[in-house]
Structure 1
Amino acid sequence: MSSKTKTSGKVSDRLDHHSRRSFLRAAATGAITAPYFVPARAFGANAPSNRITLGCIGLGNQGTPLMKRFLEQADAQVLAVCDVNRGSNGYKDDHQLLGREPAKQIVENFYAERRPSNVYKGCDAYNDFRKVIERDDIDAVIVAAPDHWHAIMTLMAIENHKDVYCEKPLARTVSEQQAIVRAVRQHKRILQTGSHERSNPLVRRACELVRNGKIGEVKRVVTHVGRHNKVGPGPGWTPTPVPDGFDYPMWLGPAPEAPYHKDRCLYRFRFNYDYAGGQVANFGAHSNDMAQWGLGMDDSGPVEVECLFADFLPEGSLFNAATYTCFRCVYANGIELICQTAEPSVRCIFEGSEGLVRVDQLGANFFTIPESLATWEPGANDIRLGSGDNHYRNFLDCVKSRNEPIAPVEVGHRSGTICHIGNIACRMNARLNWDPASERFIGSKAEEANSYLESDLTRPWHL
C-alpha cells in the first residue's frame, strides 16, 4: 500500500501538522525516551501544530456519536470519515440517518460554524478504510466498525504509525485481540479501548471500595447483559436486495460469504456470531470490565468457565447469538463471577463478607451496603484507580504524552476475553478449564474450545 494519499481542498482548510507528525514518529521509534508534552506556550493551546488529526471509521449508531465527542475537543481535528454505507436509515433507531455522507456533513457544519466565513470543506469521505489509514496527515483513527473488522483495521492503522481509539470489544476473537496487543507493543502506539466506564468517577469509586477491602473479602460478582433488542427473521428467511449506496461485499470483508438481508447489517450485526459476540460482548464489555477492574484482574482472568444456561433461536434463524445467557467464571482465589442476561440498568454487583457495592444505570449511580460506604473517600495510603471523567480527552492526552490511557490494550483484551470464553462455554454447553497465563483452554474438551479462540478470516483479509 502507498504510504501517502493526496488530499483535496484549499490549503486554508487543512492543518499544518508536520511538526506534530515528526514528533509522533520520533516517539514511536524511540528517539524521544521520556514522556513528552507539546507545550501550550510554544504553539498556543490549539495551534494547528498542536492538534491531533483524526480519521473516523464506522459512522453508525456508535461511531457517529463518538465522532461528535471528538469534534468537541479543541485540540483535535477530524479530517476524514469512512463507512461502507453512503447514508441511510435502519440503525438502532430506524429514523436515524447515518453513514459517511451524513457524517461528513456533521463535521463540515461543525467547523463552518466556527469560521468567520461559515464555510468549511476540509473533511473527506471514503468507502474504503484503507484510504484513511494510508493518509500521512492523520495522526490517529477511531475504529467503530462492526466487531469482525476491529482487528484488521486496528492492525493496519498501527502498522501505518497511527494511534487508535478502538470501540469495545477489542476484537471478535481472542486470537485477534492477542494480535492487537502484540502490534501495539511492538510498534509503540497508543490504543484506548472504548470501555468508557473506566473514565466514570462513580464506577471508579465503586471499584476502589472493593479494591480497598471496604466490603470485606469479595465472594462473588454478578454482571448483567441485556437481551436482544431487535428481532431477526427465523428459519426460511429469504435474501433482500442490497440497497443503493451500500457496499455489501466490503461490509462482509473477512466474514464468510452470505446473502444480504437488511437485518444482517448496520446495528443488527451484533446478534450474529460471524460478526460479533451478541449482547455478552456488547453490554458485557462494560459490566465484565467493571468486574475485572474491581477484582484487580486486569492482567489475568478466571481459571474456569461454565455455561449454566443459554437459549438460542431455532436453527436457520438469521440471528444465531444466544438470546439469553448465564455463565459462571471462577478465579484462582475462589471468587465467582456470574454473568447473566438480566435488567441492563443494573450493571455489576460486588458481594463481600462485610458489604455490597452495586453499579447501576450505565454507571450513573451506585448503591452500597452499608449505606455509609457511599460517602467513603480514599485516603493517602489507599488504592486509587486514576482520575478524570472524559474517556476521549484521556486518549488525546495520551497521544500527546505517550503515557498509558485508562483502558489500554491489555485491559481491553482481558475484559473482552471474559465475554469470549463465556460465549464459547455457552455455545458448547460445557464446563471448561481456562489457563489465564497461556490464554488457552486446558483439559477436557480443550481442542474444540480452543478452535473458537482462533480467527477464521476469509481471503484476501488476514491479520
Structure 2
Amino acid sequence: MSNQHAPQAGSRREFLKTSALAAAAAAPYFVPASAFGANAPSNRVTLGCIGVGNQGFPVMKRFLENDACQVLAVCDVNRGSSGYKDDKHVYGREPAREEVEGYYGKSSESGSYKGCEAYNDFRDILSRDDIDAVIIATPDHWHSTMTVQACKAGKDVYCEKPLGLTIGDQQAMVKAVRENDRILQTGSHERSNPNVRRLVDIVQSGALGEIKRVVCNVGRHNMISPGPGWKPMPVPDGFDYAMWLGPAPDAPYHKDRCLYRFRFNYDYAGGQVTNFGAHSLDMAQWALGMDKSGPVEVEHVYADFLPEGSLFNAATYTHFRCTYDNGVVLDCMTGVPEVRCIVEGTEGSVRVENQGRNFFTIAEGIKSDVCGSEVPDVYVSNDDHQRNFIDCVKSREEPAAPVEVGHRSATVCHLGNIALRLGTKVKWDPASEQIVDNKEASAFLNRPTNQSWNT
C-alpha cells in the first residue's frame, strides 16, 4: 500500500508520550456537574467516538443527550466533508468536535466549551486513561481490529452492527471481550424496541402454536455504482485514505468506495444482507430462541450481481433460505419494507416491520394472558439502546445485545452471503461454528488482512 496518505507514525508516537499531559490540560474545560443533574462528574462514563460519519454522528448525538456520560474525544479519518448518504450532511471529526463542544457549551456558565479532542488515529483515543468506553461506528472491516484493541486497552465498547466483517472476525471479538472482562453492546437497536419485544413475547409464549416458517426482508441497494471502466480519483484534502483502508486490500481511491457507499463492496461490508439483515435476522434469531445457536443449513435461492468490473460488487437482489435443526425454515430476501420479520405458526402469525414502527398480529385466538413478563428470556427495557449500554458499563451486567448475540445474528447474514456468492448450499455446525465439508465456503470464514497501516 502506498504511504502517500498514511499518518505520520513519528508524530503519533510523540502524541502517545504526551497524551497524559494533553488530558490534564483539558481538565479545566469539563462540563460543570450542574449540567448533568444528579450525575456528578465522578459518576459519568467518559466516551470516545470512533467513526463519526453517517451512522456514528447521529449515535454520538444520542449519547450527548444522556447525562450519565460525557464525550471527551472523537476520531475519524475524514477531517470533514459532505458526500455521505445525504449530501446535505457534513460529517467527520471536526464537525463532530464542534457538535460536542456546542452541545456542552449551552450548559456551561461561559456559554462555551473546549474539552473535546479530535483525532485521526483511533489508537490515540485508546491510549487515554481518562476514557472509559468507545463507540465504534466505522465501516465493518474495521470493527474487529478496533474492538479487540479497545478491549485490551481496558475500554468497554458500543459497536455498530453488523458486529464484524467475517465470522472469524466476530469470534476474535467475542474472545477479546470475555478475556478482558469488557462490556460490549452491539448496535442492534431493535433489541430495545417495544414492538419487537412484543413479537418475541408472543412467539416464545407458544401462542402461535408450532413455529413453521420465518420471512425476513432486507433492503435493496439505495446507491448507484460506477460501472465497469470507472477511473480512480484524487484523494480529497483532509481524508486519510490509507488509514480508511486499514486492514482491507489496497485499492485505488474513488469517492463511491468510501463514506456511506462502503457497504456495497465486499472488501468492507456485506451489502444490504448484513446492513438490514443485522436487524431483521436478529429479530428472527431472538424470537426463535437461537441467541446461542443458528441454522444448520443455508441455501442460495437467488442473487443478482452488477456487471463484473463495477465498483459495487455486493449482490443487489438476494434470496437465501435457512433451515434450523428443529425444522423451522427462514427465507431472507430483498424486499420492501427494508426491515421486516414475519413469524408463522400453526395457530397464526405475527410480524413487525419498518424497523418496529408498525406492528401487526395476524393470529386468531391469541390470548393476552399468555403473553407478558412471565415469558422467560425476553429482555425488557424502559429506555433506549444507548442508555442500556451506559447502565451496563456502570453495573457490569450484560447489555440488551451482548457480543455473543451480535455475533450469532450477524453469522446468519455472513452465511447467507457465502451461499449467495458461491450459488450453493452451505451446511453449518452452530456448536463448533464451522462450515461442514466445504473448503471453498470455509475460505470465507476469514479474510486476509493488510497490516501495512499498523505502523
Q: TM-score, normalised by structure 2?
A: 0.92
Give the alignment partner of residue 328 of structure 1, picking from 297, 321, 324.
321
Q: Distance in 2 between matches of 1:163 and 1:377?
A: 37
Q: Could you give the per-residue CA deviations for residues 317-345 of structure 1, whole angstroms, max 9, x where no partner exists?
A: 00000001100010000100111001135
- CA drift at 1:200: 0.5
Q: Which runs of 5+ in 1 are unaligned?
A: 18-42
- Specify the code of the residue in structure 2 equivalent to 1:452: F
Aligned residue for 2:29? 13
Q: How does 1:70-219 map to 2 (within 5 A)?
A: 70-219=63-212
1:358 counterpart SS class? strand
State whether residues 223 and 349 of structure 1, in contact with CA within 8 Å, keep that contact through their aligned partners in structure 2: yes
* 1:132-184 CA distance string (max 9 Å, x none): 11111000000000000000111111000000000000000000000000111
CA–CA distance in structure 2, aligned partners of residues 152 and 140 of structure 1: 16
Alignment of 1:286 with 2:287, yes or no, is no
Match of 1:431 in 2: 425
Paired positions, count = 435
Contact 2:279–2:339 (8 Å) recurs in 1: no
Which sections of structure 2, spanning at least 5 residues, go unmatched? 1-12
Asked if 1 retains the 8 angstrom alpha-carbon contact of 2:277 and 2:339, the reply is no
Change (3 A) 1:438 1:10: closer
Pairing partner for 2:412 from 397, 402, 418: 418
Instruction: Name which of 345, 356, 376 aligns with 1:352.
Output: 345
* Contact 2:156/2:183, CA 8 A, preserved across alignment: yes
1:210-244: per-residue Cα shift (whole Å, max 9, x none)?
01111111101010000000001111110011111
Indicate if the aligned counterparts of 1:347 and 1:361 stay in contact, CA closer than 8 A.
yes
User: Which residue does 2:361 correspond to in 1?
Assistant: 368
Instruction: Check whether the contact 1:4–1:134 (CA below 8 A) recurs between aligned residues.
Output: no
Distance 1:260 1:93 in 2: 20
1:424-463 alignment, distance < 5 Å: 424-443=418-437, 446-460=438-452
Q: Does 1:310 align with 2:300?
A: no
Local SS of the residue matching 1:329:
strand
Q: Among residues 379, 395, 414, which one is paired with 1:386 in the alignment?
A: 379
Taking the aligned partners of 2:346 and 2:46, their CA distance within structure 1 comes to: 49
Partner of 1:49: 42
What does the per-residue CA deviation read over 1:50-78, in whole Å, with 9 as the maximum and x for residues that have no partner? 00000000011100000000000001000
CA contact (8 A) 1:368 1:374 kept: no
- Residues 391, 4 of structure 1: alpha-carbon distance in 2 compared, 3 angstrom cutoff: farther
Distance in 1 (CA, whole Å) between partners of 2:134 and 2:442 is 31
Instruction: Indicate conservation of the 8 Å contact 1:134/1:160, yes or no.
Output: yes
Residues 378 and 384 of structure 1 are in contact (CA less than 8 Å); yes or no, is this contact kept in structure 2? no
> Percent sequence identity over matched residues?
63
Deviation at 1:14, TM superposition (A): 3.2
Return closer, same or farther for 1:236/1:380 CA change in 2, 3 Å cut-off: closer
Task: Give 1:361 deviation, angstroms.
Answer: 1.2
Greater shift, 172-181 or 367-376, is seen at 367-376
Q: Which residue of 2 aligns with 1:38?
A: none
Describe the shift of the 1:201–1:440 C-alpha distance in structure 2 as closer, same or farther (beyond 3 A): same
Cα pair distance change 1:75/1:368, threshold 3 Å = same
Q: Is the 8 A contact 2:44 2:70 kept in 1?
A: yes
Q: Which residue of 2 aligns with 1:34?
A: none
Asked if the contact 2:220/2:338 (under 8 Å) is kept, the reply is no
Aligned equivalent of 2:394, options 391, 397, 400: 400
The alignment yields a C-alpha RMSD, in angstroms, of: 1.9
**Runs of 4+ more than 4 Å apart:** 1-4, 371-377
Give yes or no for the alignment of 1:59 onto 2:52.
yes
Could you report, residue by residue, the CA deviation over 1:422-458 in whole angstroms, capped at 9, with x for unpaired residues? 0000000001111111111113xx1010100013211
TM-score by length of 1: 0.91
| 1:17-32 pair list within 5 angstroms | none
- Structure-2 residue corresponding to 1:409: 403
What amino acid is the match of 1:98?
Y
Cα pair 1:367 1:374 within 8 Å, conserved: no
Cα distance per residue 1:372-401 (max 9 Å; x no partner): 749667346433512214100000000000
Measured against aligned partners, the alpha-carbon deviations of 1:13-48 in whole angstroms (never above 9, x if no partner) come to 13799xxxxxxxxxxxxxxxxxxxxxxxxx983111
The separation in 2 between residues aligned to 1:137 and 1:273, in whole angstroms, is 36
CA separation in 1, counterparts of 2:106 and 2:31? 17
Match of 1:276 among 269, 277, 281: 269
Q: Distance in 1 between matches of 2:97 and 2:368?
A: 45
Whether contact under 8 Å (2:31, 2:108) holds in the other structure is no
Structure 2 Cα separation of the partners of residues 222 and 123 of structure 1: 45
- What CA deviation, in whole Å up to 9, does each residue of 1:390-427 have, x standing for no partner? 10000000000000001000000000000001000000
Contact 1:4 1:136 in 2 (8 A): no
- For residues 311 and 331 of structure 2, the distance between their equivalents in structure 1, rounded to whole angstroms, comes to 28
- Amino acid in the other structure paired with 2:440: E
